[in-house]
Amino acid sequence: MRIPLSITHTIHDWLFSVMPEGVASIVEMILIATVFLAFFAIAGLYLVLLERKMAAWFQLRLGPNRVGYKGLLQTLADALKLVSKELTILEKADKFLYKLAPYFPIITALMALSVFPYTEELHAFDINIGIFFLIAISSIGVIGILLGGWASNNKFALIGAMRSGVQTISYELSVGLSLLTMVLLTGSLQLSEIIEVQKNGWLIVQGHIPAIIAFMIFMIAGTAESNRAPFDLVEAESELGAGFHTEYSGMRFAYFFLAEFVNMFIIAAIAATIFFGGWLSPFGITESIPMLGIFWFGLKTFLIIVLMMWFRWTFPRLRIDQLLTLEWKYLLPLNLMNIVIMAFIVWRNLTIQF
């Protein structure tokens, strides 16, 4: 684990000076987990506000504007409302699984957040299989949706959960293959190394047309995997009420709701890291001013999130047959062809070098 920046280095040294090494390590991990939990809550709340403001902008209205300055505290008020609500449960629901389900999306999202290099030194969990870890962790979150839909003992929730299983399994292939295309180009699964490769230029530029195709496929498949419109058949309000979380209320509903928005942040952060250089500045000045890395990482991620929200308020919801046709008949064959082309480009570059 890297120890980021001077202030955290000071905390690290102080903890190890006043506590035994084992205890200090545990306290340090708890502090890091607390920071990620706070980031999770704040990012989730204000992404919801951004979504509502974007919707209002597209629909030529104001959106939230009463609570706080221009509505900035609206989602905080909504969160307090959800905390105070009663946690209801159906008599015939599977109570243990019903209560367990919301924790899967929350825990997997938190684990995924720990892998990203926010700057060169601000990196909690730098492992050599970073991309593989992200793909594996993201596939676990759907278990919570399946459990929640089945345990609710509600036909609409069950249909939503079944759709989620089909959709996630299908689009995980395209997410994985589009990232594998970039792994071929970099020769590494470690996120910090992938960013190092991009000091000579973003991968979306280095990889030529196959990298652009991989980015487009990743954005489509990533939007589908995070259950966002136009791929929101899992929740489909006009058909299923609220889909898999129809019977959830209070904080259990909030866990599902916040996890969806944090998953959108994770998809955008992966795209920013793999295709656009992560914390690297477009002008080559990040190294001299380390804190600028957080700014560039945040800006790139924010712009990609705006793009995903743009999808939602532009395209109509697909039918389930259209959703599966898009993946199996178009995206998957295109992805396989794109990997072959990228492999040929990498082989040609290696041949020229030697």
Mean pLDDT throughout 46-70? 90
Residue 290 has pLDDT above 80, yes or no: no
Query: What is the predicted pLDDT for the residue at 3?
Result: 42
Asked, for residue 33, whether it belongs to a domain, the answer is no
Query: What is the predicted pLDDT for the residue at 1?
Result: 44
Residue 253 has pLDDT above 80, yes or no: yes
Residue 217 has pLDDT above 60, yes or no: yes
Query: What is the predicted pLDDT for the residue at 284?
Result: 62
Question: Are the C-beta atoms of 157 and 248 separated by less than 8 Å?
Answer: no
The closest alpha carbon to 224, from 284, 153, 155, 173, belongs to 173
Asked, for residue 208, whether it belongs to a domain, the answer is yes
Query: What is the predicted pLDDT for the residue at 287?
Result: 54
138: number of Cβ within 10 Å:
24
Give the Cα separation of 272 and 202 in Å (integer): 10
Residue 264 has pLDDT above 80, yes or no: yes
Query: What is the predicted pLDDT for the residue at 4?
Result: 46
Could you give phi then psi for residue 350, rounded to 5 degrees?
Answer: -65, -40
Percentage of the chain beyond pLDDT 90 is 34
Asked, for residue 20, whether it belongs to a domain, the answer is no
Mean pLDDT throughout 71-82? 89
Spell out the SS3 assignment of the chain. CCCCHHHHHHHHHHHHHHCCHHHHHHHHHHHHHHHHHHHHHHHHHHHHHHHHHHHHHHCCCCCCCCCCHHHCCHHHHHHHHHHHCCCCCCCCCCHHHHHHCCHHHHHHHHHHHCCCCCCCCCCCCCCCCHHHHHHHHHHHHHHHHHHHHHHCCCHHHHHHHHHHHHHHHHHHHHHHHHHHHHHHHHCCCCHHHHHHHHHHCCHHHHCHHHHHHHHHHHHHHHHHHCCCCCCCCCCCHHHHCCHHHCCCCHHHHHHHHHHHHHHHHHHHHHHHHHHCCCCCCCCCCCCCCCCHHHHHHHHHHHHHHHHHHHHHCCCCCCCHHHHHHHHHHHHHHHHHHHHHHHHHHHHHHHHHHC
- Which residue segment(s) compose the domain that 139 sits in? 91-353
Mean pLDDT throughout 129-151? 89
Asked, for residue 60, whether it belongs to a domain, the answer is no
Residue 6 has pLDDT above 60, yes or no: no
Mean pLDDT throughout 174-192? 92
Residue 307 has pLDDT above 50, yes or no: yes
Mean pLDDT throughout 285-293? 64
Asked, for residue 207, whether it belongs to a domain, the answer is yes
Could you give phi then psi for residue 94, rounded to 5 degrees?
Answer: -80, 100
Residue 5 has pLDDT above 60, yes or no: no
Asked, for residue 25, whether it belongs to a domain, the answer is no
Mean pLDDT throughout 250-254? 87
Give the Cα separation of 346 and 339 in Å (integer): 10
Query: What band does 241 get if pLDDT is binned at 50, 70 and 90?
Result: confident
Asked, for residue 74, whether it belongs to a domain, the answer is no
Give the Cα separation of 153 and 205 in Å (integer): 50
Query: What band does 212 get if pLDDT is binned at 50, 70 and 90?
Result: very high
Query: What is the predicted pLDDT for the residue at 180?
Result: 94
Least confident of 54-63, 68-77, 122-131: 122-131
Asked, for residue 30, whether it belongs to a domain, the answer is no
Residue 23 has pLDDT above 60, yes or no: yes
Residue 260 has pLDDT above 70, yes or no: yes
Least confident of 233-237, 301-305, 307-311: 233-237
Give the Cα separation of 236 and 34 in Å (integer): 34
What total number of domains does the chain contain?
A: 1
Give the Cα separation of 244 and 161 in Å (integer): 5
Question: Are the C-beta atoms of 213 and 292 separated by less than 8 Å?
Answer: no
Average pLDDT, the chain: 86
